Structure 1
Amino acid sequence: MTDDSDPLEGAAPERKLAHRYGEVRLLPLAGFDAKPCYLITDGGGGPVSRLADTVEGVQLGMAAQLLAHADDMLPNAPRGELRFLAECLTEALRDALRVAESRRRQTAAPGGEREPLP
């Protein structure tokens, strides 16, 4: 009797894509309904990968500028401005975490193997 069950049943979507197509990169922008977007790549640094690198750099730069603005603004900020600042900081943190997760997944583990995806 053969076991016809899917060995990746219940696995994260990017893990299924990586199993089927090879290297998968988490892109720095979310898709519809804030779902993650992935790029299937051969690791060669094509145009979409370079664009993703640029977007990540812009996101991290904007986050740094926003943080500096928050440092200046916080001591004397009115309530309404604090709420807006908190919303902007939340968005910047979400972007920075997506960049960090993407880069973590791209980092090779010792021996040239990729870290296992969760």
Structure 2
Amino acid sequence: MPHPLRLLPWTTPEGKPCYLSPDRGRGLLSRLPDDIEEAQISSGEHVLAGARAVLADHRAGERAVRFALTRATESLEDVLRVAVSRGARIEVGEQRPRHDTLIE
């Protein structure tokens, strides 16, 4: 059974999705997107903590709130792409992703 194309955690300069025809093993081209997904999720956790801190600070100005919201939007876009990619892989029977972070 052929492996479906994998949605990668980045886009082209024009904003179009990128795909990889995965190999059966754990080659470099398969590990690179895994590593980038892990970094995007980790970054999203840090951005979330920063956004919460800005929102909790009643003295935070418009500039700080806009910055936090901009970063949160970017992180959400990245994490949603990871979720879509991983969901598609789970549907075809791949192993569960390595990262099981729960956001409290």
With normalisation by structure 1, the TM-score equals 0.70
Alignment-derived partner of residue 100 in structure 2: none
Q: Deviations over 1:44-91 (max 9, x none)?
A: 222111010000000000000111111112122211111111110000
Alignment-derived partner of residue 98 in structure 1: 81
For residues 35-114 of structure 1, the aligned pairs below 5 Å read 35-76=16-57, 77-108=60-91, 112=93
SS at match of 1:32: coil
Point out 4+ residue stretches in structure 1 off by more than 6 angstroms: none
The number of residue pairs the alignment matches comes to 91
Maintained 8 Å contact 2:44/2:79: yes
SS at match of 1:42: coil
Query: Which consecutive residues of structure 2, in runs of 5 or more, have no partner in the other structure?
Result: 95-104
Q: Percent identity among equivalent residues? A: 41
Cα distance change on mapping 1:23 and 1:46 into 2, 3 Å: farther
- Counterpart Cα distance in 1 of 2:86 and 2:63: 35
User: Rg bigger for which structure?
Assistant: 1
- Counterpart Cα distance in 1 of 2:25 and 2:91: 15
Query: Which consecutive residues of structure 1, in runs of 5 or more, have no partner in the other structure?
Result: 1-20, 114-118
The higher relative CO (CA closer than 8 Å, separation ≥ 6) is in: 2
- Counterpart Cα distance in 2 of 1:23 and 1:42: 10
Maintained 8 Å contact 1:23/1:42: no
